[in-house]
Structure 1
Amino acid sequence: MHFDHAGIATTDANDLASLYVDLLDAERVHREEFDGMLVVFLETGDGYLELLEPLDEEGAIARYLQDREGGIHHVAYATDDVEGALANARDLGVDLIDEDPRPGAWGHDVAFCHPKSTGGILVEFVEH
């Protein structure tokens, strides 16, 4: 398993993407509307930044931004076997948000571990 991306909640994904393109010499590599969000992926060389802008007031990112101005929402790790990663987490006693993989942005299968079991960090497993 290796670092894949950091998910960053923001009220304006395009504006933040423009800043990071200039500031970090990042490259925009993917943009889509998914699950009530505008999602923009930037390649940084060592992984991606996933910029998450809510398009409605009901989703997880909208709720996250109600209490914060923005910031890191989750950290994702790439795996060749998201079901195996979930089984390992279960064996370690980690509380899961997803018992089974689900569709994620960019067509990947994803699953999340609850932050109360992972040091306050929302951990995502992503299978490309």
Structure 2
Amino acid sequence: MHFDHAGVATDNAEGLAFLYEDLFDCEIVHEERFEDLKVIFLGLENGYFELLEPQEEGTISKYLDEHGPGLHHMALETDDIEAALENAKDVGVDLIDEEPRRGAWNHQVAFLHPASTGGVLVEFVEH
């Protein structure tokens, strides 16, 4: 596995993207509307920032209401998401997603419960 992206919850994905482009010398490589979100990916040398802006009520809007803007999750890329989920269960980690589901870019994704991972919401991504 290796680092894929850091998901950042924000009320203004485009504004934050412009800041990150200047601050980190990166650029937008992908944008999409996904479920109840506007999603912008900025390319880094070894991964991405994924900016998550709610477009209607949902998980990210609730997160922003409770925690404010900031780091939402860390994502790790795997070649075999089902094996990664089995390994997580084997070492005692609680899963949010028992089965992979479609995520941004049409990748397969699954989340691990932060109560089992030191308070960090971890996402597995299979491209």
Q: Name the counterpart of 2:105.
A: 106
Structure-1 separation of matches of 2:50 and 2:70:
11
What TM-score, normalized to structure 1?
Answer: 0.98
Structure-1 separation of matches of 2:62 and 2:9:
10
| Matched position secondary structure for 1:120 | coil
- The answer to whether 1:50 aligns with 2:57 is no
Q: Name the counterpart of 1:12.
A: 12
Q: Name the counterpart of 2:85.
A: 86
| Matched position secondary structure for 2:45 | coil
What TM-score, normalized to structure 2?
Answer: 0.98
| Matched position secondary structure for 2:18 | helix
Q: Name the counterpart of 1:97.
A: 96
Q: Name the counterpart of 2:34.
A: 34
Structure-2 separation of matches of 1:71 and 1:44:
18
Letter of the 1:51 counterpart? L
Q: Name the counterpart of 1:74.
A: 73
Q: Percent identity?
A: 62
Letter of the 1:4 counterpart? D
Structure-2 separation of matches of 1:68 and 1:17:
20
Structure-2 separation of matches of 1:104 and 1:121:
19
How many residue pairs match? The answer is 127
Q: Name the counterpart of 1:61.
A: 60
**For the aligned residues, what is the CA RMSD?**
0.6
CA-to-aligned-CA distance 1:2-43 (integer Å, 9 cap, x gap): 000000000000000000001100110000000100000001
Letter of the 2:25 counterpart? D
| Matched position secondary structure for 1:95 | coil
Structure-2 separation of matches of 1:124 and 1:68:
19
Q: Name the counterpart of 1:2.
A: 2
CA-to-aligned-CA distance 1:57-116 (integer Å, 9 cap, x gap): 2x1100000022200000000000000100000101100000000000011000000000
